[in-house]
Amino acid sequence: MILAKRPEIDRFLARPDAAVRAVVIHGKDRSGVAERSEILCKAITPDLNDPFNVTLLTDSDIDGDEARLEEALTALSMIGGRRLVRVRLGSDKASVDKAVAAALKTHADDGFNPDAMLVIEAGALGRDSALRKAAESHKAAVGIACYEDEVGDVARMTREALSAEKVSLSADALDRFVSRLPRGRGLMRQEIERLILYIGPGSGRQLDVDQLEAHLGVEPDASLQDAALQAFGGKPAPAQAGLRRALAEGESAVLAVRQASIHLGKLRRINILQNAGAGAKEAAKAAGVFWKQEAEMLRQARAWRLDDLDRVLDSVNTADLATRTTGMPEALIAERLLLEISARARRLGL
């Protein structure tokens, strides 16, 4: 079966159904996959280093020796309690995918030790993955896809972490902090922990935007955000200047292209929400727009319609691939992309 909604996923991870014998947690955000797997595994057995009740295998263990997984799933606990078999897949090798899928199906059909729980961590599994199909189609198995957190989820995670340490951010400061967080869950957690240390755990302090800015500082990533904002606003010179400043400060062209993609995604979300009847300010906030940039983003969203964004998305994807796979100078690829976006924005009347 498939678990997709956050509340039902959180409930299952904290209190897994005894009838479920196998779980596949997968997604591009490997830190998010690992975090959810850790919560689930600790719900099964608190000591994940227990040599009697816990077996950890990787794809290299299984590749060429499929019996290792079957032996782990067949073994009985020597001291009682539910056994845990963890599998971490670091590659998308088809033979391993099929082998693990076959073992999962047999285990879900009660072919091995019924008291063993099989938990598999994997990268982004396509819909043609045998492992994903096996987990999602069997009533005794669960498939959980980990997607990038929505802005609301990130804000909630930040609030909860700060509250646990008796510190907080004002509403505007929280919006600003969330807009600057990296995408991976592991990196998000690190930045939140760093903020807590800056505020002072247990101090009861609340930071406003200006106080938060002192913590954030002028980072290269800020220049990249500004470059994307200027490009989609039809201002090639400031966009070019922001990019060159970020590159000079050590930022990469790959992240410059990615920032353009993030900005495009925010404009898409504003369009979609407004088409569904949301108000402009409501749509901007839901899209994760920092309040100081709200007016400019809404101005851009009025000009950039969904069809226009889809056309420029092809250019963004092409540039993203080129910066990572070709021998062309990365900086030139990113700069050319921003200039192309600026030119398109000009033609749209910005």
Instruction: Give the pLDDT confidence of 146-173 residue by residue, as tens digits.
Output: 876 667 778 888 999 999 999 999 988 8
Task: Give me the domains of the chain, ranges plus CATH numbers.
Answer: 2-145 (3.40.50.300), 151-216 (1.10.8), 220-347 (1.20.272.10)
- pLDDT score recorded for residue 183: 63
User: How many whole angstroms separate alpha carbon 168 and alpha carbon 189?
Assistant: 15
Residues contacting 156, CB < 8 A, separation 6+: none
Q: Please give the pLDDT value at position 63.
A: 84
Q: Which of 71-75, 286-290, 323-327, 332-336 has the lowest mean pLDDT?
A: 323-327
* Average pLDDT over every residue of 250-264: 87
Query: What torsion, rounded to 10 degrees, do the Cα atoms 5, 11, 14, 17 define?
Result: -100
pLDDT at 232: 96
What pLDDT is recorded for position 347?
95
Given this model, what pLDDT does residue 299 score?
A: 95
Enter the pTM of the model: 0.54
Q: Which one, of 63, 61, 78, 64, lies nearest residue 113 by Cα? A: 78
Which of 175, 194, 266, 203 is closest to 229 using CA atoms? 266
pLDDT at position 217: 57
